[in-house]
Amino acid sequence: MFPPGDPKTPHVVADFPIAAPRIRDVMPQLRELLRDNPALRQKLFQVEFLSTLSGDLLITLIYHRALDNRWEEAAAQLSKSLSCEVIGRSRKQKCVLGRDWVTEALSVAGKEYRYRQPEQCFTQPNGGINEQMISWLLSHCPLAHTDLLELYCGVGNFTIPLAGRFRAVLATELSKRATEAAKYNAEDNDADNIEFARLSAEEMSAAMAGERPFRRLAHLKQPLGDYRFSTLLVDPPRAGLDTATLALAAQFDRVLYISCNPETLNANLAVLTDSHEVSALAFFDQFPYTAHLESGVILTRL
C-alpha cells in the first residue's frame, strides 16, 4: 500500500485484521503458494477476493498474459490447497475452474436467507453490517397490502427479505448476470411474489411515466398499471439518483434510500424533502478505518 499523498513510498501490510476471516487467513498462504509457482506468478498483477459469512471463498487472479494449460493445472492445485474457487482472467480470457459464484448466508430477524453472489456482480461487501442494514429496513416496513418498487436491486439482497412485507414486488436491475442471480435467489428463498426486470433506473422512470413501452416488461404477470405501488426502495451507485428518478420518487408515499455516498445523498435529499420528510436515518460502517460510509434514510410523503 502507499500512504495518502505519498505514492512513491511503499508501506508493507503484514496483516489485514478488518478483512473477512477467510480472506485474512488465506492471504499469507496464497502469497507463499504464488511465490513458489512460476506458472501462477508470471505477470500476475492483481488478486481479488470474494468471501461470505457462509465460509465460501473465491479468488480471482488477473494477468498481463494469456493463460494456458500449465496455468490451469497449477490453479487447480491452488484451488485444492486453499479449499476455494479460483478464476483466472487476462485480456479477453476468463478461466473458471469450478464455479464463478459464492453463496452468502444471512441471518435476519430469526430467518436465514441464502444468496448466490457471482464474481464481478455488485454485492454488499460486509456481511455482518449487511444483516444490520436489512434488519433496519425491515423495522421500518410494517406489513402492507400495497406493492414495492425497487431500483438497483442487484442480486436481490434487500428485495427478498422485504418481499414478505408487501403484496407484490417489482425489482429492476441493469446487469444481466445480477438479474439472473436475483431470480435464482428469489426462487431459492421461496419468495414467489417478486418480479424482476432488466431495466436501468432511467428506463423504469420512463416506463412509469408512460413515455415508452419496454419489451423487457412484457413478461410481467400483471400490467405495470395494475401494481399498487406505495413504497420505493433505491440503492444507487455513488452518483446517486438522476433527475428523472428523483421525479419518480416524489410520487411515492414512502422512499427507502440506501446510499454509499453521503455527498450525493445530501444533494438528492435537498430535492426529495420538497415532497417528503425524513422519518428515520441510520449510518452503517461497511469499511472500518476508511472514509466510506453507508447511509439509510426513510422518507415519508408530506
How many percent of the chain have pLDDT more than 90? 91
In which domain, by residue range, is 63 found?
21-99
CA separation (Å) from 273 to 70, 200, 232, 251, 261?
59, 24, 15, 12, 18
Average pLDDT (131-160) is 97
Tens digit of each residue's pLDDT (9 = 90 or more) over 222-247: 999 999 999 999 999 999 999 999 99
Task: Give yes or no for residue 263 having a pLDDT over 90.
Answer: yes
Confidence band of 257 (pLDDT split at 50, 70, 90) = very high
Active site residue 294: yes
- Please identify, among 99, 118, 141, the residue that sits at the C-terminal boundary of a domain: 99
Active site residue 260: yes
| pLDDT score, position 186 | 98
* Total domains present in the chain: 2
| pLDDT score, position 266 | 97
- Please identify, among 53, 79, 99, the residue that sits at the C-terminal boundary of a domain: 99
Task: Give yes or no for residue 13 having a pLDDT over 90.
Answer: no
Q: Catalytic one among 48, 211, 260, 263?
A: 260
- Please identify, among 67, 99, 131, the residue that sits at the C-terminal boundary of a domain: 99
Amino acid at 88: G
Q: Catalytic one among 104, 119, 203, 294?
A: 294
Is residue 110 located within the same domain as residue 238? yes
Q: What is the CATH number of the domain that holds 142?
A: 3.40.50.150
Is residue 228 located within the same domain as residue 148? yes
Is residue 53 located within the same domain as residue 197? no
Distance CA 114, CA 191 (A): 12
Say if CB 194 and CB 163 are below 8 A apart: yes
How would you class 93 by CB atoms within 10 Å of its CB: exposed for 0-12, middle for 13-18, buried for 19 or more?
A: exposed
Q: How far is CA 169 from the centre of its chain?
A: 18
Average pLDDT (213-217) is 92
Average pLDDT (189-197) is 97
C-alpha cell at 299: 422518507
Distance CA 269, CA 278 (A): 9
Tens digit of each residue's pLDDT (9 = 90 or more) over 103-142: 999 999 999 999 999 999 999 989 999 999 999 999 999 9
- Domain membership of residue 8 (yes or no) is no
Edge-to-edge strand order for the sheet containing 147-151?
194-197, 168-172, 147-151, 229-234, 254-259, 294-301, 276-284
How many percent of the chain have pLDDT more than 70? 100
Average pLDDT (241-264) is 96
Is residue 234 located within the same domain as residue 264? yes
- Domain membership of residue 74 (yes or no) is yes
Average pLDDT (250-258) is 97
| pLDDT score, position 1 | 80
| Three-state secondary structure string covering 238-300 | CCCCCHHHHHHHCCCCEEEEEECCHHHHHHHHHHHCCCEEEEEEEEECCCCCCCCCEEEEEEE
- Domain membership of residue 14 (yes or no) is no
Confidence band of 16 (pLDDT split at 50, 70, 90) = confident
Q: What is the mean pLDDT of the chain?
A: 95
- Domain membership of residue 243 (yes or no) is yes
